[in-house]
Amino acid sequence: MQEKLSISEVKHVAELAKIRISDNEQEKYQIELKKIFNELEKIEEVKDYDEEIIITPTEEKCQLRKDEIGQMVNPKDMLKNVPRHSGNYIEVPVVINE
Amino acid sequence: MNKYLDKTIIELNQLLKEKKITPLDLVLEAFARIEKEHELNAFITLNKEEALKEAKKLETMEVDNLLFGLPIAIKDNILTKNLRTTCASHMLDNFIPIYDATVVEKIKEKHMIIIGKTNMDEFAMGSSSRTSYFGAPRNPWNKQKIAGGSSGGSATTVAARLLPLALGSDTGGSIRQPASYCGIVGMKPTYGRISRYGLVAFASSLDQIGPMTRNVYENALFLNSLVGKDEKDLTSSKKEREDFTRKIGQEIKGMKFAIPNYFMSDIVTEEIRDRIKEVIQLLEKKGATVDYIDIAYLENAVTLYQIIAMGEASSNLARFDGIRYGHSKENPKDIDDLYYGSREEGFGEEVKRRIMVGSYILSGDNAKKYYDKALSIRSDIRTSFLKAFEKYDLIIGPTTTTTAYDLTDPMDDPLKTFLDDVLVIPVNMAGLPGLNVPVAFSKDHMPIGLHIIGKPFDEATIYQLASFIEKELNLDLNPKGSDENE
């Protein structure tokens, strides 16, 4: 069994996760991620199982609350945790071509 | 120093009612204890100013419930309005919530006093609390050892008798495992029993908040105050409130208990198996029956957990984008630099690894290969547990495979942290209630715990057995108390 992922596989996984990893971390992730992926493969060994799935482990039906106006967040409070804002607008870098 | 905080909740309530002590006495004593034991590193943030203010306010109020005026610790992944909530992560080290979690609202309604936010594994991802951005908490029985995780700070707080009550959260054993390592009582209630609103989500189908206390009765009493349907959490149960202490004190004669063979296999140290066997003998002597049974797919539970928990975590932690809250990269070149850079700088290694694996699991065809299949086998595990409960009142076994290990033990194996929780994970898979109660000490005097698993929403019967055992064994569970007796 292959003992580590290729560098391009590591880059792909990091890309999916939107996490930047530095060049000197790559080798560590090649080995660590492979180790976990090998573990996940063990699920292949389970053959005889019922197709029925469980998403939330409860028999109670999830009930939506009534669509009514309730507790509202005050914009001034909300902006306290926003790293960059201008007035009531949250600032982000330009996302369209200038 | 006063020693009020060594007293039981019932005793404290009596003293408060008779005005022999005030909530302020308890709060001052709590901070003095925390200060004295600061090297335990149990807390990330203390709430001293507000706690003192609240204590003074309570002096003029009537003592209207058993938990009135008691100091309490909250795990740092549960939102507390205007009190920093970090999830032990650099990502949130400046985050001040603007609302309270539903459980925190309930705690405030009962006039408990929040003393601080406890240390934990970063985003609750870990089994030793060593992934905390703020350094690991220490085990009060031996400060060179881990407290367990992820609710390690809460376990340390209660075990060291800094405070009588703490809240934890349990996604794959994070209440019960540190409770076992630290010699306290920790309950993960049935999935849906307690609202998750305001608990920073890790794996939404597994997460559950629960009480951590010095003894069984106080745990049940504390749980009474935390439960109930919450409109803000659609998975919270409609079940009526009940008194979880109601079966405490009842005999266990005629009760039927089961132990899954896997829980007593050689994955558990011989010493722990021997101590658990002694508990079994005690139960049999007292008129209960104990059978060994098989539960399907227990040996696959860790793999299922990795797939489901990491998959859900990658989705839940996608919200940390450096834009709305949390750590944000300085001077980003463009929007991608902001996303990637903020997450690179904000998350620690364990969290990054789990998000990466989770994103991979849910991508393209992998979702079917891994995630869907895991959900199917998960259903079989639950069915197998429910079938066992047609015949048995409770399922029991050891909580952990070893006692707490050294803080300096290597962290280079990414699988080790999951294997620490091999015995407690199946309970989250099945959504069942489970509790740790201390039953023995190892040769090096570290606590050993019994894991008691109940039917859905049958926490009361778990407390019945746990309190019976607690009373029979009558262990000295105060790390300081033991010293004084020597």
Tell me whether A57 touches chain B (CB under 8 Å). yes
Mean pLDDT of B306-328: 97
Tell me whether B82 touches chain A (CB under 8 Å). no
Mutate one of B125, B357, B378 to test the A interface: name it (highest A CB count within 10 A): B357
In this predicted structure, what is the pLDDT of residue B485? Answer: 38
Mean pLDDT of B65-89: 98
For B94, name the nearest residue in chain A, comparing CA atoms only: A81
Instruction: Give the pLDDT confidence of B26-45 residue by residue, as tens digits.
Output: 999 999 999 999 999 999 99
B41 vs B144: CA distance, rounded Å: 12
Instruction: Give the pLDDT confidence of B353-408 residue by residue, as tens digits.
Output: 999 999 999 999 999 999 999 999 999 999 999 999 999 999 999 999 999 999 99
Q: Are B396 and B452 in contact (CB under 8 A)?
A: yes
B297 vs B464: CA distance, rounded Å: 28
Strands B209-213 and B165-169, by their bridges, are: antiparallel
Closest CA to B320 of B350, B342, B353, B349: B342
Q: Which are the contacts of B403, defined by CB distance < 8 A and separation ≥ 6?
A: B181, B269, B272, B442, B444, B446, B447, B448
Provide the residue type at B398 as one letter: P
Instruction: Give the pLDDT confidence of B86-136 residue by residue, as tens digits.
Output: 999 999 999 999 999 999 999 999 999 999 999 999 999 999 999 999 999
Count H helices, E strands: chain A? Answer: 3, 2
Q: Is the peptide bond prior to B225 cis by the omega test (within 30 degrees of 0)?
A: no
Q: What is the DSSP letter of B239?
A: P
The catalytic site residues of B sit at 75, 150, 174
Closest CA to B73 of B168, B183, B150: B168
Q: Sketch out chain B's domains with CATH numbers.
A: 4-249 (3.90.1300.10)
Facing B415 at nearest CB: one of A18, A29, A35: A35
Instruction: Give the pLDDT confidence of B470-479 residue by residue, as tens digits.
Output: 999 999 999 9
For B98, name the nearest residue in chain A, comparing CA atoms only: A77
Mean pLDDT of B66-71: 98
Tell me whether A69 touches chain B (CB under 8 Å). no
pLDDT, averaged across chain B = 96
Residue B480 pLDDT greater than 90, yes or no: no
In this predicted structure, what is the pLDDT of residue B1? Answer: 63
Q: Are B412 and B130 in contact (CB under 8 A)?
A: no
In this predicted structure, what is the pLDDT of residue B482? Answer: 46
Tell me whether A1 touches chain B (CB under 8 Å). no
In this predicted structure, what is the pLDDT of residue B484? Answer: 44
Per-residue pLDDT band at A2 (split at 50, 70, 90): low
Helix (H) or strand (E) holding B17: helix B9-17
Mark out the alpha helices in B298-445 (DSSP H runs): 301-316, 335-346, 349-361, 366, 373-391, 416-419, 425-430
- Look up the ipTM and state it: 0.94
Mutate one of B85, B89, B356 to test the A interface: name it (highest A CB count within 10 A): B356
In this predicted structure, what is the pLDDT of residue B106? Answer: 98
